[in-house]
Every structure is written in C-alpha cells, then in structure tokens.
Structure 1
C-alpha cells in the first residue's frame, strides 16, 4: 500500500514553515492508488450510462410530452457535468496527473464550476419531487400547471441559481492541503455548502415524500402498492445515504480534527467523497429497475430502433403510483 502525501503543492503558509515542522502532522492517503482506479472506473461507466440515459429520456420526453422527463433529463445532464468537472478535471487531471501544479486561478475556477454542477445535480431533483407531489396529491392542479415548456423554464432558473451559488466557492479551501485551521470564511463556506447540498434539499424531500406516502397509503386499493411504497422509500433514501457520510466528515473537519492533520479523517473524507460521487452514476440502474417504459426506450436505443412518437394505449394511468417511483432517483 502506497502512502501519498496529503500535500502536493506547498502553499504560502507551508513554505514559511521550518523543515520538519509540518511533516509530523501531515496526514497521508492510506488508500494508495485505489482512488485513481475507482474514479477512473466510475468515469468510464458513469459517463456512457448517463449519455444513454439522456438519449432514452429524450425519446420518452418527445413521446409522452411530460414535464417529469424534462426534470429527469436536467438531472442526468447535471450528473454528466459533475462527473466531468469533479471527477475528470478536478481529481484525475488536476490532482492525479498534474499534482495540482497549475495556476491558482485555474484551480479556483474549476472549484467554482465543480460546486455549481454539484448544486445543479442536487437541486434539479427538487422540482421533480414537487411535480410528483402535485401529481399525486393534487391531480387536477397538476394537469393545469405541469407541462414541458414550464418545466424547461423552471430548470433554466434552477441552473442559473446553481451557477450563482458556485461563485462564493471560488474561495473554497482545499481540505487535503491547507495547513492552517479553518477560518471564519472556511466555516461560512462549509456551512453554506452542507446546507445547499444536504440539509435543505433533504428537508424538502422528507416533507414531500411523507405527504406522498400518506396519500399512497390512503389510496391503497391494489396489493402492489405496498411494494411501490417500499421502492419509493428505497429510491428516496439513495441520495440521503450516499451524501450523509461526506456531510458528517466535513462538519467533523471543521470542529474536531482537520483532514490535513489526522489520517483517519483523511481516510473518511476520501471514502465519503467516493460514495457521494457514486450518486452521479446510479440513476440509470434505478430507472431501469423501476420503469418498464425506460427499459424499453433503452432497448430501442441500444438496438438502434426508432421510438414511436405516439404514446402507447396500454398505459391509461400515466399519473398513477408507478410514476411516483421516479421521485428521487438521484
């Protein structure tokens, strides 16, 4: 097992240290080359399946004219951006290849793009959740307000706000390499980050999903609804489970022990980042598992068959409980 130093490029604060002052406190990457292998594999699998997902969803959107598929397309697109900026540019190129020996302005600009793509990926799910809540709990209202053109406008606003929300993270400190303790600016950025990527969206998901589950239970007239509700809970939990470790480690780094000083925190941060990035590649498999129309669309794409532009007549309840399974496939 190789020990990778936590510091690849000395910062100005490190350059002022006397020889040996920071070496005893500097944590090492005990995972060796495993992160490079993991992220490379995730990129090789995640980008193709997300592109396949986007093509399949585009066909479904053209055929069904449903706002839900517009939201899922936006989610897939933001996942692709997250994979390209965070995994390919941020980790594989800047860190593994160039060892962060690139201009500081470029590092900070890429960091800003990473956070913007990450925020877009998470918050694209919020209007999807709201749309499914309205469809199940207020179906008459849903028929009036939910249509693709409005969904595209909503997604445009979400992406614009995500881009704006990434600007403050131009000043984000690299937890692996910063020697000094977190400053007040670091604290503000960390709390802003965890609120945007975890606490706020999870609160919205929790409230709306509880309301949806309550409505599904009240409408329970078929035996399969129990399984559908269980599947809904599983899909809804995917995001919370995969992102919870990173949120905990970031807060732990802020108040207890830093990533730079403690190899155990360093290890926890590495593993939690791997789990969080896994979230950008699992949607395809979740969609295939819960949606027969999506599987059919994927099959048509792989077999190079043109999809029908006429909605199938054997699906008379497009707003039924089965569609609620899409609620949080993130």
Structure 2
C-alpha cells in the first residue's frame, strides 16, 4: 500500500472510479452508516425486552411443561440475537478501507468480528432448527414427545449448540492479519489483510463444511419441519372444528398452536432474510475472485443488512401473536412506572384472569387509574 494520505486515498482517485465502485460506496454508506445502526439499536432494545418478558415468573407459570420448554428456546434465541445486534452494531465504526491510525479495540475487534458474528449466526440458526424439530415432534408425534422431550434435555441441547458454534468458528479468528505500514515522517498505519486459514486446502475444506452445517443442512431441516408444522396446525384446526373438545383442552391446543405459529413465522423470516446472505457467501467457493468484485460486495452489504433485520424483529412478532407476552409486558411496564416514576399515583383494581391451561386463576391488575399530584385530571384506563 502506498504511503501518504492513506485515509483519503479514495478522494485522490475519485475521477477514476467506475460506476460500479460509486454504486458500492453509496450502498455501503446508506446501509452501514444509517440502516445498520438503527436496526441494531432497535434489535438490542427489542431483544432486551424479549428476555425480560420471557424470564418473568408470571409467564412461565402460565404455560404447560412443553410450552415452558418452548419459552427456553425463545430465551436462547433472544440471547443469541441480542449478542448478534451488539456485535454487528460495532462494525458500523469500521473504516471502509480497513486502515487504522493506531492499534486499539476497534482494530482488534475488526480483526475478529467475522468470527464473533459467525458464532451468533450459527447459534441462532441451530436453536431455530432444534426448536422446529421439537415442535414437529410435539405436534406430529404427540405420544412420542412425552418421552423424548424434557426440560433438562432442552437446556442441555441449547448449551451444546452454543459450545458447538464457538468451537466450529475458532478457525475464523485466523482469517485476518494485521499488517504494519511504515510511512515517511515516522508515520505508521495498520491494515487488515485477509489470509488463507492454515493452508489453501484447509481453507477451502473449512468453507465447504461451514456451507453444509451453517447453511444447507439447516435450510433443508427447516423447510421440512415448517411444511410438517403447517400441515399439523391445519389438521388440528379441522379436527377441533369437527369434534369440538373440552374447554381446557381447547385452551391448551390454542396455546400450542400459537407457539407453533410463532415458530413458523420465525422460520419463514429466517429463510427470507438470513438464507440469502449465507448462500451468497458460498458463491465465493465457486469463484474466489468474486469477493473483489464491487457488484458482489454491493449485494453482500444488502444481504448482511437483511440478516440484521431478522435478528432484530422477533419482538414485534411476539407482540402480535402472543397475548400472554403482551399481558406480561404490560404488567412489567406498569410495575416499572409504579416503582420508578413516583410522580404517578396508582389505584389498582385487581381482577380475575384465567390462564390457558384452565383449572384456576391468578390475581392480575386488570385496570389502573393514573393520577398526577395536584391535578384533578384522571388518566385513561389501560
């Protein structure tokens, strides 16, 4: 790399830029400097709320044993998505030319961020896959699920997924190396160069194995499980309409179907938003020169943004589909306002709210009047 005004190299050759380069720089600027930070901040806040709500004891006790296992998968997925949003957000501070004026956190993080992000992508992928398989067994083979599925097994599976994702992506930590560039005037710059991992054979083999276990195999399993789940829900709905059923059993069935519907939409979003990003990376296996093409890099920026959207919007999905989630979030907000905003005065009216499995009820704050001190106006009922 020539010395001199390295950080402003692009300005010195502005007249020589092709249309392809200009388009890439505009896309990079829009998506990485505006789109990605906003979606990552939204994803961070949404996933924090997901974890807070899903961990609430009130939500846990309102679910059957199988639904408690499902909530554990959702917690694991929200945790991985949260860490992905944090990791992806920090990449927005990386310079386009990958040239740094000093060694520091940003340089070392940029060197390792591909591995870190890959870990959370693989974790979220396989948590979704195992969750889909478990729901498939629960919906399509309910008798077998009583013996095959357990809370202990669910926690062990999630732990193994996290461990597997970390170990599988260790080689990626060696993908980038720091090069020191000495310039006249005692000026030093640091540049990140991509290198072959260990050897050319190992690098190509590793990329191929990653493509199989990180993309192709999960896609096949998710598509199959999703088709079976959709058919299972339709069949369940038809049978319930034909034969009816006990009220308690109906509530349980509806609860099962809501969780299954949530998973189906998660899988559809994954296939739509995550799969293109992962598949486009595997095109480089067929032609390694593509990674230097600005057209390819433009597509990569867009698909990376789509991937970030997927890890950031589950909060909206839960709010739309799951009434128990909305109710618990409302309870948390009211409790927070009561404890930390003393300028409100609350008058609670406890009411009875039935839980999905029937056979009892729990006390809830059905309505609340908000009053400001020294103000005769009464807030609207929530």
Q: TM-score, normalised by structure 1?
A: 0.73
The aligned counterpart of 2:131 is 128
Alpha-carbon contact 1:288-1:294 (below 8 Å) kept: yes
Task: Determine the C-alpha separation between the residues in 1 that align with 2:291 and 2:8.
Answer: 13
The aligned counterpart of 1:33 is 29
- How far is 1:255 from its partner? 2.7
Higher CA-based Rg: 2
- The answer to whether residue 172 in structure 2 is matched with residue 172 in structure 1 is no
- How far is 1:287 from its partner? 1.4
Task: Determine the C-alpha separation between the residues in 2 that align with 1:231 and 1:44.
Answer: 23
Task: Determine the C-alpha separation between the residues in 2 that align with 1:36 and 1:115.
Answer: 21
- How far is 1:191 from its partner? 2.6
The aligned counterpart of 2:186 is none
Task: Determine the C-alpha separation between the residues in 1 that align with 2:86 and 2:153.
Answer: 28
- The answer to whether residue 47 in structure 2 is matched with residue 56 in structure 1 is no
Task: Determine the C-alpha separation between the residues in 1 that align with 2:72 and 2:300.
Answer: 34
3-state SS of 1:221 partner: helix
Alpha-carbon contact 1:172-1:189 (below 8 Å) kept: no
- How far is 1:152 from its partner? 1.6
The aligned counterpart of 1:272 is 303
Task: Determine the C-alpha separation between the residues in 2 that align with 1:130 and 1:119.
Answer: 16
Task: Determine the C-alpha separation between the residues in 2 that align with 1:93 and 1:36.
Answer: 8
Structure 1 residues 179 and 163: CA distance shift in structure 2, 3 A: closer
Task: Determine the C-alpha separation between the residues in 1 that align with 2:36 and 2:325.
Answer: 27
Task: Determine the C-alpha separation between the residues in 2 that align with 1:63 and 1:314.
Answer: 6
Alpha-carbon contact 1:61-1:70 (below 8 Å) kept: no
Structure 1 residues 118 and 248: CA distance shift in structure 2, 3 A: closer
| Residue from 239, 257, 266 that aligns with 1:221 | 239
Aligned-residue Cα RMSD (Å) equals 3.9
Structure 1 residues 129 and 54: CA distance shift in structure 2, 3 A: same
- How far is 1:239 from its partner? 0.3
| Residue from 161, 166, 187 that aligns with 2:164 | 161
Residues 128-277 of structure 1 aligned to structure 2 (within 5 Å): 128-172=131-175, 184-219=201-236, 220-222=238-240, 234-256=265-287, 258=289, 260-277=291-308
Task: Determine the C-alpha separation between the residues in 1 that align with 2:143 and 2:8.
Answer: 59
Task: Determine the C-alpha separation between the residues in 1 that align with 2:153 and 2:280.
Answer: 38
Task: Determine the C-alpha separation between the residues in 1 that align with 2:164 and 2:100.
Answer: 29
3-state SS of 2:215 partner: helix
Alpha-carbon contact 1:30-1:267 (below 8 Å) kept: no
Q: TM-score, normalised by structure 2?
A: 0.64
3-state SS of 2:27 partner: coil
Structure 1 residues 145 and 282: CA distance shift in structure 2, 3 A: same
Structure 1 residues 36 and 126: CA distance shift in structure 2, 3 A: same
3-state SS of 1:54 partner: helix
Higher RCO by CA contacts (8 Å cutoff, separation 6 or greater): 1
Task: Determine the C-alpha separation between the residues in 2 that align with 1:255 and 1:242.
Answer: 23
Task: Determine the C-alpha separation between the residues in 2 that align with 1:123 and 1:47.
Answer: 21
The aligned counterpart of 2:113 is 110
Structure 1 residues 62 and 107: CA distance shift in structure 2, 3 A: farther
Segments of structure 1 that go 5 or more residues without pairing to the other structure are: 1-6, 11-19, 307-311, 318-330
Structure 1 residues 150 and 231: CA distance shift in structure 2, 3 A: closer
Alpha-carbon contact 2:122-2:214 (below 8 Å) kept: yes
Task: Determine the C-alpha separation between the residues in 1 that align with 2:205 and 2:228.
Answer: 33
Structure 1 residues 257 and 156: CA distance shift in structure 2, 3 A: closer
Structure 1 residues 68 and 247: CA distance shift in structure 2, 3 A: same
Larger strand share, 1 or 2: 2
Structure 1 residues 233 and 111: CA distance shift in structure 2, 3 A: closer
- How far is 1:260 from its partner? 5.0
| Residue from 68, 71, 74 that aligns with 1:72 | 74
Deviation per residue, 1:75-98 (Å, 9 max, x gap) = 00001111112x133x12444798
Deviation per residue, 1:280-330 (Å, 9 max, x gap) = 101111112221111212222222279xxxxx744238xxxxxxxxxxxxx
Segments of structure 2 that go 5 or more residues without pairing to the other structure are: 1-5, 178-191, 242-252, 339-352, 359-382
Aligned length: 291
Task: Determine the C-alpha separation between the residues in 2 that align with 1:108 and 1:187.
Answer: 20
- How far is 1:74 from its partner? 0.3
Task: Determine the C-alpha separation between the residues in 1 that align with 2:355 and 2:134.
Answer: 23
